[in-house]
Amino acid sequence: MRRSTSGQRRKVEEARAVVQQALGDKARKDAPQVPTEPVQVKDLVLTIGEVAVRLDISRAEVERMIAAGKMRSLKAGWTVVVRSNEVERIQSERI
């Protein structure tokens, strides 16, 4: 029987929202939060698994790169995420 992943998906989405708010919240805290353009949280941060797929390497290799300081990451709760521009930087260095 296949185990449901909806709980993990919810945790990842919550972590993405926390990171997006931390990275992109430049407005005053008491001002209403009205985005000027549509924001895709999915495009701003990626999980380790998503990074591995984009770079065509294993999750373990991504974790080694983070531990060695070759890739910057953010911790949001229990989830480690990487900004998409960091993945683009790594891709451009590999060419």
First CA to last CA distance, the chain: 42
Residue 1, in any domain of the structure: no
- The residue written with tokens 């683009």 in the block is 88
Residue 48, in any domain of the structure: yes
Q: Look up the CATH number of the domain holding residue 69.
A: 1.10.10
Q: What is the pTM of this model?
A: 0.57
Residue 66, in any domain of the structure: yes
* Rounded mean pLDDT, 66-89: 91
Q: How many domains does the chain have?
A: 1
Contacts of residue 13, defined as CB under 8 A and 6 or more positions apart, other chains included, come to: 41
Tell me how crowded residue 61 is: count the other CB atoms within 10 A of its CB. Answer: 14
Q: Which domain holds residue 46?
A: 6-29+39-94
pLDDT at 19: 75
CA–CA distance, 4 with 2 (Å, rounded to integer)? 7
Q: What is the pLDDT of residues 26-72, one digit of tens each?
A: 444 544 555 556 555 445 889 999 999 999 999 999 999 999 999 99
Task: Pick the closest to residue 55 from 8, 12, 89 (CA basis).
Answer: 89
